[in-house]
Structure 1
Amino acid sequence: MRRIWIAAVLLPLLALWSQTSERVQVGPLPGGGVLLNSAWIVWPAGRQVPVDSFPMSSALSPDGRYLLVLNAGQNPPSISSVDLAQGREVSRTPVPDAWLGLAFAPKSNRLYVGGGAQASVYEFDFADGKLQPARTFPLTEPAKRSERDFAGDVAFSPDGRLLYVAELFRNSIAVVNPQSGRVIERFPTGRRPYRILFHPDGQSFFVSSWADGTVLRHMAETGALMTRLALAPHPTDMVWVGGRPKTDPDEPASPYLARIFVTASNTNNLYSLGITEANDVRLLGLVNLALSPRQPAGMTPSALAWDASQARLYVACSDANAVAVADAAYEKPVALGLIPVGWYPTSVQILPGGGLAVVNGKGTGSPLAGTVSLLSPQDLAPLEAHTRVVFENSPYDDSLLDDAGTGPGNPIPSKPGEPTPIRHVVYIVKGGFTYDEVFGAFRPGNGDPALARFRENDLPNHFRLAREFVLLDNFYRNGDGYGDGLQWSFAAIASGFVQKLWPASAGGRRPWNAFDGAEPASYPPAGYLWHNAVQAGLTVRNYGCMLREPTLKPYTAAEPPGATDLTRAELLVRELEGSDKTGAPAPRLVTVCLNGGNPKDQDQALGRIVETVSRSRIWPSAAVFVMEAGGPPGKDHVSPYRAPALAVSPYARRRTVDSTLYNTASVLRTIELLLGLRPMTHYDAAARPLAASFQPQPDATPYAAAGGTR
């Protein structure tokens, strides 16, 4: 029952991550593989086939010769046809919009696609590796559409007579007659229906509710709710495994005629449901797919495939860049090992002959270029060696929960709760330029002046702070853009919902309003930084961040309509100066979002905030961290993920450039260690704290803002 990756393959951290004397940068590594902005490595097994941006689902052609891949990223949506024998993309067909849904009709070469914000289903004829557009089935008349109309998963009834479509934001299932192309029924279901799975008898179907953490069973004819089974946060993919599971010779036969396996992307777990002889559904248990027993959330199991010939489950673990393998012959599955694949796997398919296809949403290092990893049976065979590679690709280790390696005497403790002279943190998140765009002309940092969009007279406070305190010139944002970057900045991860929806917004196909904290399905695994702080008994104050996040509202400063970055800065200044006058306790954690879009206003607001903090009574015990959440794609001579970041404190080194490899999660880990907070995911648990930017002896000289901020 033990997992070999825990019992035999647990390895120490990569040497490259522990070396500080040699500059390590994001990008291709000399020995192979690619170092990501997350500090994880992708080095996929098998053959890699390039496709388009953020491929998120796949379907095997009826003859088994082709893999159809739905690309739904920032680029215009398309469907790639991959010839499995040749191992290459042989055609790419545009589609007006698409999201997740991709299915062939039973015993047919007709392919159906969930049309995303177009609120339609698109029909294609498939032959010889090529798709020809056929009909369009609108779920809502174009004149009556709103942002709530969004077509996701598609699934045929087993007899092929009816097509069922998940209407993601209407929390309903539309039933379409494919003969007429018309919607004949609508059934209410759980919030944010993700996947539809039919019982083989066709009498009922199952829906995974992304927002409610449930699996629902409906009557196929009437939509009547038969079962609502509470499962876990963010259930996503489901697979039906028919037949009774095996039992030992001295045990009675299993009471379950079939099982359903379900991934829950806000956990590290795979869940198992049993179908009884009475046709009831029961929760059987779970399989922990984490790299180790203490690992925080972050595996993001999100897609499944079942190999009946081997009784094996293959589970795409999106935030581990791996596929987990489990033996499911018996009632309780046993995790066997892990296979390294590309960045953020989103779909898994069993291939004829026993091979495996894995769709990677971000390929080998770019959100604009996904890949398909094709693995033959021979590629799959060395599972123990594959598991070892997955561990080598990961910077996470349980020992980091007990010792973050900051070193003796550093103001940043090595473990939450240890003494530190820093008690107040101001966390300023901005959007959205690369390092070179801001500091390309700054010396001695590693910048390219030719790519600089700003000079010191444009952003005088950024440059003055970089000169007087610590500039991080090897810092990378974890997010691809502002949509996911904001969640990365406060949750140390972007949830599956955000990862799969924000590219459509970046591509201009749907609004941006699902990423500001109000959307129930977007909630990250361990909540946000403010939840972490409040649970630890700390006081929190927020200025301008995630204003629609309901649990943050009690801690958020009220701001007038149309508030700017300067408005938020003045709110903070007024409240901090007020607490100085009254002697009221200052909040331990302050979050500030400067995202008004005017770089000069951002700069002035930044200078005003830092100057006020440095002249307040909290300054001797304060640290200010400034970083970018993300933004439009920019230019940088190292990586488009490299971003400007600053550390400001009496304990920060003065007039220093720190070239240690850091990222968004590094700032969060540093804040957590200073405030005595737990890591939220495996990303911040594994991240290197900003220890090299700090010194034991303070210099409490206040900061004088540039540019006439007063």
Structure 2
Amino acid sequence: MLNLNSLARRISLPLWFLSCVVSVMAQTAEKPVRAVTDPGVVTTRQTITPAGVQAVFHGRVYGLTFGASSSEVWVLNAQQGNNQAQIFRFDWAANKVLERIPIGNRPGLQGIQYDRAADRVLIGATLQGPAGAEAKNRTRLMAIEKGTSRILADNMGSHITGALAIASKPNSQGQRLAVVPLIYDNRLAIVDLNNNQLLGKVATGIAPFGASIDSTGTVAYVTNWGGRVPQPNDSTLPTGFDPKADQVVVDERGIASTGTVTRIDLISRQATHTIPVELHPTAIVWDEQHNRLYVANGNKDSVSIIDTTRNNVIETITIQPFQQRVAGIAPTALAVSADGSTLYVACGGINAVAVIDTGSRKVQGLVPTAWYPNALSISADGKQLAVSTLLGAGSGWRDDPAKRFVHAYRGSISVVPVPDEAQLDGYTTAVAENNHLTIGPAQPQLQPQAARDVAPMAIPRRAGEPSLIEHVVYIIKENRTYDQLLGDMTKGNGDPSLVMFGEDVTPNHHRLADQFVLLDNFYATGGNSGDGHQWATQANETAYCLWPGYLGRSYPFDGSDPIAYADSGFIWDAALRMKRTVRVYGEYAGRLRENDPQQRAKLLERWKSGDDFTRDWNITAPLKPLNKILAANYPSYTQAIPDVVRAQIFLADLKRWEGEGRMPNLVVLQLPSDHTRGATPDFNTAKAMVADNDLALGQIVESLSKTPFWRKMAIFVVEDDAQNGVDHVDGHRTVALAVSPYTRRGHVDSTFYSQPSILKTIELILGLPTMSLFDLIANDMRGSFTNAPDFMPYAAQQPKQSLFETNPQLNALRGQARRAALDSLRMRFDVPDAVPTERLNRILWHQVKGWKTPYPGAKQGVFAPLAVDLEDDERGAAEDR
């Protein structure tokens, strides 16, 4: 095989190497069809051209393994917000489902392995149950054999399991062992498969993810996402707000800064070594015959090689196959050929499998996959490589594709014959084209270099060239789709039947989009607040958030979990490095407790009376370095504080800046009221909360446009995600605004944009380096701008919708309206997305449209990491239908 240096010099081969047979699994699983009738949108601007034979499933795919033959693949699939797992035994060559076994548990991450010694599949899983049930969040090891599932070991730990491993032979004690990482518990569970006894649990590092075991079950190694246990002098931060939360070693930015592998003696059940590797070690695979252990470092784009005779790292392979050096390759899974000569690395960030020659330690080529590969398996004969992908074909349906929801997942698997040299060349070319990059060794001349003596532009062509704009205000809101707000704007691509918060509720969103630029092809890259805020501020997302691995620890939209964040840092880190001034309002500043159910109503009355709120709060961000640039008097996340109150606090600072004659180069500001609170009795209605959000936005833009800073200003507005509604184009399509004297006024810009597009545009304006692969390849938004300014200020509009409107009290309600109010009372609104998303969406729809208007949206699409009762969500959805 050729390495990438020589491949880059070859003539590109045609893409007919990618002959791909696509089959979509029906939910009944007996009758797969042969086409994806509803193509999803890949919100990272990458193209998906998976090699081999593909099968697409409803829901996410969390892992796969070859079975007894090379034609048999076992697939771990999950639906209902990843909480209802099922196993498929699939004849991929014949495109036939042999078995489908529901297991009714949350699947473990990469939580499936074939037990060849017993001709069965083992899985790690977590039992789900109603709120308060004793069984809830209990982890277990299960076996799938002869068409049924059974529990081998129960109550091993809590919340979530990682990638298990199985010994093929008994050890010196006569025990044939399986080991299961317990991510939340910081333990490795050891199970004797002879009698299904849980022998014990051994302490690991923080958040153990992947395990590997020797053939005789004597030694195991486990990767630790969060790295080593801190020492007394380490700088640390907690993984969440629980007083007993694990402390994690962090760097000066507050991001987890260690990654480790723990060696465990399975006979004595003791940890013997802690081996430092790079950041976010995930998958691990053992080439036992060569005493080599390979570890995928997801947050450093590398693979560490450990010598198991000395228990230290002997080399690190950097996975950077492109001439442009980027962060975000994201190795997630590993497999090694039987002879140890070839290592396969699933790279979630570039939708590919890297093929590495273990002798030269060089990347030989890349095999294209569907969206975000997350598990690998090699057939027993070594001829086939199977790949699962978490996001697969993007969000979509088999039926009625016109109403799309962000959590309508369609994960996939692909089976690819191990490619020869010529095939690998063609595959590699395809991966480069799919990622808009160039294969080959680093070429410094390809890195964007600022030109000298160029005239200033609104959006410079390269970072570091002069811009007509000096001040950027970046406003991040919560959870709306494009069609929900702007689907009634006839000059854009909207569906008015899906509008819930039209011009009477959101006159400022409408007016800003109409007077400045309407962006009708803009997408939130992530799917929920736990990853959406990362995409909006980092142009990247770690596996810890995407899979997710934080269950039980945190919900890291708010800066509360240092394991969650990418090593490439935040947009404010990039700005500070380049000596730009920064001020942050609310974003990543934690969340406020809600102790008074009438707090929001009281604050609205105070606002109406003209009270001053600038001394009401004193916020400390959990991400400690952020406090240096944080507006401490600006509230962090809560639905109990109206956005007009937030606006008043910000505008007081703006007035001070006017007096001082200077304003920060970058202002990041959170306006979260449009998340809403469902039908909670005696609380503001959804329309009132969205109107509050709209008025606050209008007041902020008007005030900014009437300052001297306006002449050199750009304002960008975006939702963190789009999960609380449906959209006729894609569930990720969302509301975004670009407001500036340099905006192309009255223009409709239908260019494909996403959150990294905003970040890339900010980087070009302020002269900042790109943070990741994703802002590097994103379209910048110059199509929405001109170099000929129009300095006319904006005039805010008062919504016709009252900001004070409240939901009826419970005793005034009957039927479905009462049911919606009761459900809303039971939901957690102190954290975004802590409610069953689909149930809340239905409540909001009927609250606005009436109970006789059919809901247009999702089937089997639930996201609720902290939901009180998913079964209740399903019942509500069923009744609604």
- The bucket for the TM-score relative to the shorter chain is 0.7 to 0.9
Pick closer, same or farther for the CA change 1:206–1:392 going to 2, 3 Å: same
Pick closer, same or farther for the CA change 1:639–1:51 going to 2, 3 Å: closer
Q: Deviations over 1:255-312 (max 9, x none)?
A: xxx211111111222222223xxx2123222333223243211111110111124721
1:410 Cα deviation from its structure 2 partner? 3.2
Q: Deviations over 1:519-567 (max 9, x none)?
A: 2321113011111122222222212212233332332223457433233
Q: Deviations over 1:620-646 (max 9, x none)?
A: 111100112213263323222222211
> Residues 65 and 386 of structure 2 are in contact (CA less than 8 Å); yes or no, is this contact kept in structure 1?
no
Question: What CA distance in whole angstroms lies between the structure 1 residues aligned with 2:8 and 2:40?
Answer: 27
Aligned partner letter, 1:519: D
> Residues 3 and 337 of structure 1 are in contact (CA less than 8 Å); yes or no, is this contact kept in structure 2?
yes
1:453 Cα deviation from its structure 2 partner? 1.9
Pick closer, same or farther for the CA change 1:121–1:65 going to 2, 3 Å: farther
Equivalent residue runs for 1:18-97 within 5 Å:
36-63=42-69, 65-72=71-78, 74-75=81-82, 76-95=84-103, 96-97=105-106
- Equivalent position of 2:666 in the other structure: 589
Aligned partner letter, 1:591: V
Pick closer, same or farther for the CA change 1:573–1:91 going to 2, 3 Å: farther
Question: What CA distance in whole angstroms lies between the structure 2 residues aligned with 1:313 and 1:222?
Answer: 31
> Residues 153 and 197 of structure 2 are in contact (CA less than 8 Å); yes or no, is this contact kept in structure 1?
no
Pick closer, same or farther for the CA change 1:208–1:434 going to 2, 3 Å: same
1:673 Cα deviation from its structure 2 partner? 0.9
Equivalent residue runs for 1:351-500 within 5 Å:
351-353=379-381, 354-366=383-395, 368-377=409-418, 382-396=423-437, 401-402=447-448, 410-500=457-547
- Equivalent position of 1:627 in the other structure: 718
- Equivalent position of 2:224 in the other structure: 209
When you count strand as a share of all residues, which structure comes out higher? 1
1:403 Cα deviation from its structure 2 partner? 6.5
> Residues 70 and 102 of structure 1 are in contact (CA less than 8 Å); yes or no, is this contact kept in structure 2?
yes
- Equivalent position of 1:572 in the other structure: 650
> Residues 67 and 73 of structure 2 are in contact (CA less than 8 Å); yes or no, is this contact kept in structure 1?
yes
2:727 to 627, 636, 639: 636
- Equivalent position of 2:814 in the other structure: none
Q: Deviations over 1:120-179 (max 9, x none)?
A: 21423423xx33334551125xxxxxxx64333323345253332212122122333456
Q: Deviations over 1:333-367 (max 9, x none)?
A: 22111111111111111113311111111122236
> Residues 193 and 209 of structure 1 are in contact (CA less than 8 Å); yes or no, is this contact kept in structure 2?
yes
Identity rate, percent: 32
> Residues 5 and 291 of structure 1 are in contact (CA less than 8 Å); yes or no, is this contact kept in structure 2?
no
- Equivalent position of 1:224 in the other structure: 270
Question: What CA distance in whole angstroms lies between the structure 1 residues aligned with 2:421 and 2:394?
Answer: 23
Pick closer, same or farther for the CA change 1:84–1:260 going to 2, 3 Å: same
Question: What CA distance in whole angstroms lies between the structure 1 residues aligned with 2:196 and 2:303?
Answer: 36
> Residues 5 and 387 of structure 1 are in contact (CA less than 8 Å); yes or no, is this contact kept in structure 2?
no
CA RMSD of aligned residues (A): 3.0
1:454 Cα deviation from its structure 2 partner? 2.5
Equivalent residue runs for 1:287-326 within 5 Å:
287-309=317-339, 311-326=341-356
> Residues 34 and 41 of structure 1 are in contact (CA less than 8 Å); yes or no, is this contact kept in structure 2?
no
Q: Residue 617 in 1 paired to residue 708 in 2?
A: yes
> Residues 220 and 266 of structure 2 are in contact (CA less than 8 Å); yes or no, is this contact kept in structure 1?
yes
Mean CA deviation greater in 619-628 or 364-373: 364-373
Mean CA deviation greater in 346-355 or 182-191: 182-191
> Residues 124 and 134 of structure 1 are in contact (CA less than 8 Å); yes or no, is this contact kept in structure 2?
yes
Pick closer, same or farther for the CA change 1:66–1:631 going to 2, 3 Å: same
Pick closer, same or farther for the CA change 1:414–1:553 going to 2, 3 Å: same
3-state DSSP class of the match of 1:71?
strand
Pick closer, same or farther for the CA change 1:174–1:553 going to 2, 3 Å: farther
Question: What CA distance in whole angstroms lies between the structure 1 residues aligned with 2:6 and 2:91?
Answer: 33
- Equivalent position of 1:138 in the other structure: 155
2:772 to 681, 698, 708: 681
2:303 to 257, 270, 277: 270
TM norm structure 2: 0.70
Question: What CA distance in whole angstroms lies between the structure 2 residues aligned with 1:10 and 1:605?
Answer: 56
Pick closer, same or farther for the CA change 1:620–1:71 going to 2, 3 Å: same
> Residues 354 and 363 of structure 2 are in contact (CA less than 8 Å); yes or no, is this contact kept in structure 1?
yes
Q: Deviations over 1:359-399 (max 9, x none)?
A: 11112223611111112346896111111111121223577
Pick closer, same or farther for the CA change 1:523–1:284 going to 2, 3 Å: same
3-state DSSP class of the match of 1:692?
helix
1:522 to 564, 585, 607: 564
> Residues 6 and 292 of structure 1 are in contact (CA less than 8 Å); yes or no, is this contact kept in structure 2?
no
Extract unaligned runs of 5+ from structure 1. 15-28, 141-147, 245-257
Pick closer, same or farther for the CA change 1:440–1:681 going to 2, 3 Å: same
TM norm structure 1: 0.86
1:70 Cα deviation from its structure 2 partner? 1.7
Aligned length: 660
Question: What CA distance in whole angstroms lies between the structure 2 residues aligned with 1:400 and 1:436?
Answer: 39
- Equivalent position of 2:868 in the other structure: none
